[in-house]
Amino acid sequence: MNVNIGDPFKEFFVLLETVTSRFWVVGIDCFDWLPFCHGKTKYLVTESKGARFELVPCNLNFDYKKAITFNPFRYTDQISVPEMNGAAAWKFENATFRTVSIVPYPILEEYQKISGVIGLARLNIQNEFTKNNPMRKAIHAGTPVITIALPKLDTRREAVLTVGGHDNKSCILGSALSESVILNERYDFTYLSIQMGSLKFQSRAAAVAYPHISNSNIGVPKEFMQKILRKTGAKFDATTNKYLVNCNANFDSLLLNTDSNGFAVEPEYFVRKHSVSFKFYAKYLNLLQRIAKKEKWKTLLDCDSQITTMLVL
């Protein structure tokens, strides 16, 4: 999804994540020699009228789960999402967000085609946005901000993402079933069986899965997963924290069955090609971090609460 930030605005292509609460885009200190940052639009606070920034505590500048390093500032600026005709579908005058400076391997493979992330988890609304923010008001009023319309399978119509309202062509409100993310950080759904070629898992009770935009997460028993690994010849690689297979081999689709529908997940969505150059980048970055720590460089690679406020231009 395209998001405009600043005045005059810059356009960022962001990923909507269902299980995270972060809102970040690529910053000016994300240098082009880093694989993730090369050639991407970068946010610079001094280029936008009325933009503000504040220093963030040092312990909040690193995402320990994904090893992403953030710029040490939190920015406040106007943000809008344009519709197809160029008009603003919704606009935030005082939205807060962060910028990233380092997105390491292997997580950069999942984010390579984007320049930012908007987390849709409820924590994002509570912690990152101001109390008078339009998104918070919309949630309290029960009006939709971001809607995903999922037509019935037999209609052969594609899912539609809308911002700021319902899609009346794909979604007939009188017969629609809706559910908001209020207490949970993700949408859960149940399935009865999952199959990959001749391999099949069938649960006595409905099993729970949830969609994730950058990862495929479907809970299956370890025995079934081991069968898949043996069938595909997958080998675990500690440097990537992934199972590696021969990309030239043929793979069966994953067939997911619920009580009323069946879905096919094609191999292209769970078998991804890895770039060898990323491995060399990972080794280089690890070396750079060790040198920075040894030499006590006062950079984003070494978090020091005694560093005074500094803005990289």
Per residue in 71-122, pLDDT tens? Answer: 889 999 988 887 655 555 677 777 889 999 888 776 777 788 889 988 766 5
Distance separating alpha carbons of residues 228 and 225, to the nearest angstrom: 5
Q: Percentage of the chain with pLDDT > 90? A: 12
Q: What does the pLDDT look like over 268-299, one tens digit per residue?
A: 777 776 655 555 555 555 655 555 454 444 33
Residue range 219-250, pLDDT digits in tens: 677 888 889 889 888 888 776 677 888 878 88
Given pLDDT bands bounded at 50, 70 and 90, which one contains residue 176?
low
- Please report the sign of the dihedral spanned by the C-alpha atoms of residue 149, residue 150, residue 156, residue 160: positive
Q: Which is higher by pLDDT, 267 or 9?
A: 9
**Residue with more model confidence, 185 or 74:** 74
pLDDT number for residue 268:
78
Name which of 101, 204, 91 is nearest 138 in CA terms: 91
- Beta strands at 23-26 and 2-5: parallel, antiparallel or unpaired: unpaired
76-112 b/e (C-beta count within 10 Å ≥ 16 → b): bbbbbbbeeeeeebbebeebbbbbbbbbbbbbbbebe
> Which residues have a Cβ under 8 Å from the Cβ of 107 and sit 6 or more positions away?
66, 67, 68
Handedness of CA 272, 276, 280, 281 (dihedral sign): negative
Do you find a cis peptide bond into 151, omega within 30 degrees of 0? no
Residue 296 pLDDT: 42
Distance CA 313, CA 311 (A): 6
More reliable by pLDDT, 184 or 26: 26
The answer to whether the pTM exceeds 0.75 is no
Average pLDDT of span 169-184: 58
> pLDDT averaged over the chain?
72
Q: Residue 25 pLDDT > 90, yes or no?
A: yes
Q: Identify the residue with better confidence: 166 or 49.
A: 49
Give the pLDDT score at 6: 92
pLDDT of residue 46: 93
DSSP, collapsed to helix, strand or coil, labels residue 209 as strand
* pLDDT value for 202: 83
309, pLDDT greater than 50:
no
Looking only at the bridges linking them, the beta strands covering 199-209 and 189-196 are: antiparallel
In this predicted structure, what is the pLDDT of residue 63?
Answer: 81
pLDDT on residue 94: 79
**Nearest C-alpha neighbor of 303 from the set 63, 122, 137, 89:** 63
Band the pLDDT of 311: cuts 50, 70, 90. very low
pLDDT at position 140 is 65
DSSP state of 173: T
Considering only residues 156 and 7, tell me which one the structure prediction assigns the higher pLDDT: 7
CA distance 17 to 116: 10
Domains and CATH numbers, the chain: 2-141 (2.40.70.10), 144-179 (no CATH), 188-272 (no CATH)
Q: Hey, which of 133-137, 140-144, 180-184, 243-247 has the most confident mean pLDDT?
A: 243-247
